[in-house]
Each structure stands twice: as C-alpha cells, then as structure tokens.
Structure 1
Amino acid sequence: MTQSISLKVPAELAHPLFFPEKETILEKEHYAGWSVSIPFEAFPYELLYYNDVESYTPWTKGAFHVKELMEKWKGIDTECSLLFSERKVGRTLGLMKQGIGLFLTAVFWMHGKPVVLSDFRLQIKSLNHIPVNLAERLSFILERPASFHSYRQLSELFREFEKQYVKFMIKNKNKKTSKL
C-alpha cells in the first residue's frame, strides 16, 4: 500500500504555475528510486529533498536521466502541436505546465543540481550548458504558459538544449576515457 504524505511547498519551488497552494501531496514510495513510468508531477524529487524526506536524488545522475525527460517531452510536444493546430488552446495549459517542468528539470539535473524556481534567473546564470537568452525566454513562457508563442519557444528551447546535452555528453565521455 502506498503512503501519501503532505509536504509544504519549499521556498525553492514556490511558483504559482506549479504550486498554487502552500502544500501538496505525494505518494512517497514512488520516489524511492527511478522509474520512467512514474506519472508526471511537478518536481517530486525536489519536493521530498527540500522537505528532508529521504528519497532518490536523480540530479546526482542527472545527465543519465535527461534523455528520458526529453523523450517524455516528445509525447507532450506532439499532443500540444495537435491541440494548437485544432485551435483547442484551452486544453494546452496542463501539457505546457508538464513541458515547462520537464525542461527545467532537464536543465538543472544535467548540471547536477535539484530544480530551484525561486529567483530562477539568477540560478540559470550559474549554469554552463544552456540555450542562449534562456532566462528571458523562460520568463516569457512562464508569463503566458498556454499561448501558442510560448509553446513554440519551449519547443525551440528543447531543440537547442538537446544539442547542448549531446555536446555535454561527448565532452564528459572524453574526460572519462582520457583518465583511463
């Protein structure tokens, strides 16, 4: 039987798009390890981590999980594209929220850090392998998450980030082999 626990939304994750309430509920057992089949919830591992609840810390193996996060985005991207083409904009917010969450997770985890939403513009400045003008572009997306222009921008950010990820993996693979 899974145990639901109530968690305070920590200052690091306080953002009205993802956490309109001050508390949230998680199934703790789902996050003891990693599984691609876990349904999307906004930053569950970080919620547990910032609340000092023992769980898996995927950012410690972040680059390994980034590929899976980008695969999840491809499904969301397809759904969003279809909804926008059918002019069903009202049904895109949930998907866009998932996509934005996946993107932020991928960026932070690739750098070996848990996601921090509070003052994310400052946090992003400390990261190396990111798309150009990321802070400004993310601000635009977060201000109007269900708009078509935000969707296009997020899609483009994922494309650019994937290139950064590939470079990062090649560079780090070469570092490992040169140490042998």
Structure 2
Amino acid sequence: MTQFISLKVPAELEHLLFFPEKETILENEHYKRWSGSIPFESFPYELLYYNNVESYAPWTKGAEHVKELLDKWKEIDSECSSLFSERKVNQTSGLMKQGISLFLTAVFWMHGRPVILSSLQRQIESLKDNPVNLAERLSFIIARPAFFHSYRQLSELFQEFEKQYAKYLIKNKNSKKNV
C-alpha cells in the first residue's frame, strides 16, 4: 500500500518557485533507497532529510548519481526544445522548474551536500568548480523560468557543468589511485 506523508517545507528549502505552499506531500517509501525510476519531485530527499524523516541521502554518494540527473535533463531538454520551437511557451514552465531543480541538485550533490535554497546565491558561491558566473546566471533563470533565454542559459549551464563533472571524476579517480 502506498503511503503518503505531509511535510512542512523547511526553512532550507523555502523558495516560491519550487514550493509556493508551506507544505507538500511525498510518497515516503520511494525515497528510502535509490532507484533510477523514482518519480523526481523538487528536492524530495532534502525535504525528508530536513524534516528528520529516515530516507536515503544521495548527496553522500552524489557523484554517483549526477550522471542520472544529467540524463534526466537530456529528456527535459529535448521536450523544452520542441515546445519552444513550436512556440508553446506556456507549456514549458513545469519542465523548466524540473530542469532548474535537477541542475541545483546535481551541483550540490557533486559537492557532497544536500540542496539549500535559502540564501541560494551565497550557497552557490561557497561551492567550488562551478560554471562561470553561476549565481548570477541562476538568478536570471529562476526569475524568468518560462523565457526562451532562460532555457538557453540553463542548457548552457548543464553543458558547462557536465564538463566540470567529467573533470571532477577524473581528478577523484586519480586521487584514489595515489592513496
């Protein structure tokens, strides 16, 4: 039997784009372990973590999961591209929200940290090895998620991040060999 739980949106995740309401509902059982087929709402693992609900903590093995997040973005990217080319801009906001959520998740998890949306610019600036002007670019995207220019910027950020992720994997692979 499927069990849903109601969760308060914690201060760490308060953000109108992702959580316009003060509470949200999650299917708790899906997030006790990792599975590539898990439905991906905005920051489900963090919601559970900050509410002290036992669940898997993917950021502890974040680099392992980033590849899957990047693959999910490629699906969203393809859909967004089609919708923008067909001038169906009003149908892109949900996909863009998912894409922004995936990007933030990938960035934080690669750094071994759960996503924190409060004081996002400061949080982003505290992370290393990010795309150039990441905080400013994200601010632009988040302020106008349904704009074509925001989509292009997010797509470019994913491309730059993927390169940095590859460097990260090589660097960490080499550092493990030297141990």
**Fold conserved between structures, TM > 0.5:** yes
Q: Alpha-carbon deviation of 1:119?
A: 0.5
- Which residue number in structure 1 is paired with residue 35 of structure 2? 35
SS in 2 for 1:26: strand
Tell me how far apart the structure 2 counterparts of residues 129 and 29 of structure 1 sit (CA, whole Å). Answer: 34
Q: Which amino acid aligns with 1:63?
A: A
After TM superposition, the score normalised by the length of structure 2 is 0.99
Q: TM-score, normalised by structure 1?
A: 0.99
Letter in 2 for 1:2: T
Instruction: Say what the alpha-carbon RMSD is for the aligned residues.
Output: 0.5
Residue of structure 1 in register with 2:151 after alignment = 151
CA-CA distance at 1:138 after TM superposition: 0.2
Aligned-residue offset at 1:125: 1.3
| Distance in 2, Cα, partners of 1:170 & 1:55 | 29
Distance across 1 between alignment mates of 2:114 and 2:40: 16
Instruction: Report matched runs for 1:35-54 at 5 Å.
Output: 35-54=35-54
Gaps of 5+ in 1: none
Q: Give the Å deviation of 1:39.
A: 1.3
Task: Tell me the equivalent position of 2:73.
Answer: 73
CA distance in structure 2 between the aligned counterparts of 1:129 and 1:74, rounded to whole angstroms: 22
Query: Aligned residue for 1:96?
Result: 96
Query: How far apart are the structure 2 equivalents of 1:3 and 1:139?
Result: 36
Q: Which runs of 5+ in 2 are unaligned?
A: none
122-131 or 157-166, larger mean C-alpha shift: 122-131
Task: Specify the alignment match of 1:131 in structure 2.
Answer: 131
Output one character per residue of 1:52-98: Cα deviation in whole Å (capped at 9) or x when no partner: 00100000000000000000000000000000000000000000000
Q: Deviations over 1:118-171 (max 9, x none)?
A: 101101111112100000000000000010000000000000000000000000
Give the whole-Å Cα distance in 2 for the aligned partners of 1:39 and 1:53: 18
What residue is the counterpart of 1:141 in the other structure? Answer: 141
Identity score, percent: 77
Task: Tell me, in whole angstroms, the C-alpha distance in 1 between the residues paired with 2:116 and 2:177.
Answer: 32
Match of 1:167 in 2: 167
In 2: Cα distance, 1:57 partner to 1:3 partner: 20
